[in-house]
Amino acid sequence: MPNLALWRWRLSTAGIGGVALNASAELKMNLPEPVSPLTAEIFDLHMLTTTVATIIMVVVIALVAIIIFRFRRSKGAVADQSFNDSRFGTWGWMLVPIVVLAIDLSIAGPGAKTLKNVETFEEADLTLKIIGSQWKWTYDYLDQEISFVSNLNNEDLSSPGYLREVDNPVVLPTHKRIRFLHTSSDVLHNWWVPSVAPKKDAIPGYINETWAIIEKEGTYYGQCAELCGTRHAYMPIVVKAVSEQEFTQWVDKQKQQKAQQLAEASAEKEWSKAELMARGESIYNRACAACHQPTGTGIPGVFPALQGSPIATGDPAPHLDIVINGKPGTAMSAWGSQLNDLEIAAVITYERNSWGNDSGDLVQPADVKAAR
Ligand code: HEC
Ligand SMILES: [Cu+2]
């Protein structure tokens, strides 16, 4: 079946109806190549409906064109007032709806079958929980116990990866059954990688499920497919499908890095201002700048400015509080669970000493630990 899909994909990227032939392949007008059983089926459905629709469109347009040309008034055409009474008229009214219904059913059959497969959940080899939030993705590998945040890292209009590349791609093994669990921490999102898995909404408070078996190594791109706010277009997805062996190596590396970071963050070390500022700047740009802006000026009426803000220049306690616990009911989320002590200390120090804020305060990991 996937082979069939691949074949149809090649055929279709060569242009439906053979009109645009190679041009459409070059322009990548069709859906990307499906690499898992479900997406192959969905792709087949897409081709079936598109083909049926194209044929109907061609037939109808041809009929209309012929009629307009042949039965025009200047040639003396007169409207047939008794069409309904003729044999052709009577049967026509009956046959046309039957044909339409038959076409509908011929699409509905495979459609229902695919829908059933989408909702068929067997035991998976690996479970990936995906949390959408404004405007980033958090990936929890439930079996491997690794977790990370993935952010857009290409806003360079002139590069081919513009709005498509991320700092931490999802890495998944090929030929394994993967279970995706979708949820959200704020509004509706939708993790959509058309080559890999079907679309399903990420809804706060609910868990939705999809699955995939990736049959081909490679890098697959996707994006949030549910309008989720001003930076909806800025939360792309990158999936790297690798061999099982490479995947195991990647998991080991992730675990090592995490252990190292944790050891570093919990060390009762006093960090210098330069160290905290440097780390803080990179965390700020990755985690906070989308809302509060790289210049700390925020977006008036939506995201408060941190430049000159009483919280970022006054007593550090409320500053620690809002960053650790967030502010329920607003877009300001609780970073306490997403960043470690050192990261929070660094980003707060950065905010208190940038863009003209010159509190001179140093917040150390120990202060964050005490404030948690
Ligand atoms: C999704 C958007 C968003 C992101 C990302 C975000 N914030 Fe906020 N932040 C807000 C909003 C909205 C408020 C205002 C909450 C309120 O109504 O008091 C806020 C308030 C604040 C305040 C209080 C400012 C004041 O003067 O009231 C601080 C400090 C702050 N954020 C720090 C951070 C830090 C540090 C990060 C990154 C780790 C961050 N924010 C990431 C949206 C965001
Ligand atoms: Cu989204």
For 307-337, what is each residue's pLDDT tens digit?
Answer: 999 999 989 999 999 999 999 888 898 999 8
- Count of beta carbons in the 10 Å neighbourhood of residue 63: 10
pLDDT-derived band at 60, boundaries 50, 70, 90: very high
Per the CB < 8 A criterion, the answer to whether 182 and 200 are in contact is yes
**% of the chain beyond a pLDDT of 90:** 60
pLDDT-derived band at 3, boundaries 50, 70, 90: low
Compute the distance from residue 190 Cα to the ligand 2 centre, in Å: 6
All structural domains of the chain, each given as residue ranges with its CATH number in brackets, are 2-75+82-118 (no CATH), 126-260 (2.60.40.420), 267-371 (1.10.760.10)
Mean pLDDT of 102-111: 90
Q: Which pLDDT does position 1 carry in this prediction?
A: 43
Task: Report the distance separating Cα 12 and Cα 61, nearest Å.
Answer: 22
What digits encode the pLDDT tens for the residues 112-136?
Answer: 999 999 999 999 999 999 999 988 9
The type of residue at 262 is: L
**37 CB contacts (<8 Å, ≥6 apart)?**
1, 2, 117, 213, 215
Ligand located closest to 311 CA: 1
Pocket test for ligand 1, best of 302, 322, 341, 361 (most atoms within 8 A of CB): 322
Pairing relationship of beta strands 126-133 and 177-184 according to DSSP bridges: parallel
Model confidence, pTM: 0.72
Task: Report the distance separating Cα 50 and Cα 202, nearest Å.
Answer: 28
> What would the DSSP string read from start to end of 353-371?
TSTT--------HHHHHHH
Task: Report the distance separating Cα 222 and Cα 163, nearest Å.
Answer: 10
- To 10 degrees, what angle do helices 2-13 and 37-70 make? 40
Residues with CB under 6 A from ligand 1: 134, 287-288, 290-292, 303-304, 306, 309, 311-312, 319, 322-323, 327, 330-332, 335, 347, 351
Per the CB < 8 A criterion, the answer to whether 14 and 25 are in contact is yes
What digits encode the pLDDT tens for the residues 175-205?
Answer: 999 999 999 988 999 999 999 999 999 999 9
Which segments of 78-118 does DSSP mark as H helices, in order?
87-118
